[in-house]
Amino acid sequence: MKSDNHYEAAFEAYLRSLGVAVVPVVEARRSYLDQTEVKSPDFIVVGPDDARLVVDVKGRKFPGGPSGSPRLMWENWSTREDIDGLARWAGRLGDGFRGVLAFVYEVLPVVYLPPDTPDLFAYRDRLYLARGVCVADYRDHMTARSPRWGTVHLPADDFRRLVRPFSAFLRGTAKDWPADDADFVADEAGSKSNDF
């Protein structure tokens, strides 16, 4: 965890408000697994119902892009190195640990989401939305975004199908969450948002 990253700070505060055990991992130095350098996760989380998560936070703004030309797209890119590292950490920590990419969106004031949207929360005068994708699922469906930068992403249809409110991972119900309920990716911001 980087102390100057408002997405990670907001996510930690949100998890603490839910009463789950949260261990932030300080990223001042690189970690090693099996003599090879690997990116550290941002958090180790233990939730109710014995949920054990290794979490890497990806902070994004919604909508993205310049204010004069916003992109109504829920960005979900990552680096291939982050995906591989998160999967390795989950495997190393043992049976029952699950790697989860937490997409923490800062929802800008031009967007309206209903107050009862799952995992919508405020932190220091900003509004955030926490969503998650299991790293194994992400890895199975990711495609190259920029080979030069080593970035990958999920195509919109795959993201829509795999993404869940982050709290579903805490309850162990992420696999059971109906895909239709994840349609916030396409619908909530488009049809229910303020005009851009």
Q: Write the pLDDT tens digit of every residue in 71-114.
A: 888 999 999 999 999 999 999 998 889 999 999 999 999 999 99
CATH architecture of 6-191: 3-Layer(aba) Sandwich (3.40)
What distances in angstroms separate CA 39 from CA 83, 89, 90, 106, 179, one per listed residue? 9, 9, 12, 24, 31
Which residue in 178, 143, 144 sits closest to 161, CA to CA? 178
pLDDT at residue 68 in the model: 83
pLDDT at 20 (0 to 100) = 94
- Cα(49)–Cα(51) distance, integer angstroms: 6
At 189 the pLDDT is 42
Alpha-helical (H) ranges within 134-179 are 135-141, 156-162, 166-171
CA distance linking residue 178 with residue 158, whole number of Å: 14
pLDDT of residue 50: 83
| pTM for this predicted structure | 0.87
* pLDDT on residue 194: 35
How do the domains of the chain map onto residue ranges? 6-191
* Nearest to 89, CA basis, from 54, 134, 47: 54
Per-residue model confidence (pLDDT) at position 140? 97
DSSP state letter for 155 = -
**pLDDT < 70 regions, the chain:** 1-3, 28-30, 173-196
**How many Cβ atoms sit within 10 Å of the Cβ of residue 109?**
8
C-alpha 137/C-alpha 143 separation (Å) is 12
| pLDDT value of residue 147 | 93
- Are residues 31 and 1 in contact, defined by beta-carbon separation less than 8 angstroms? no
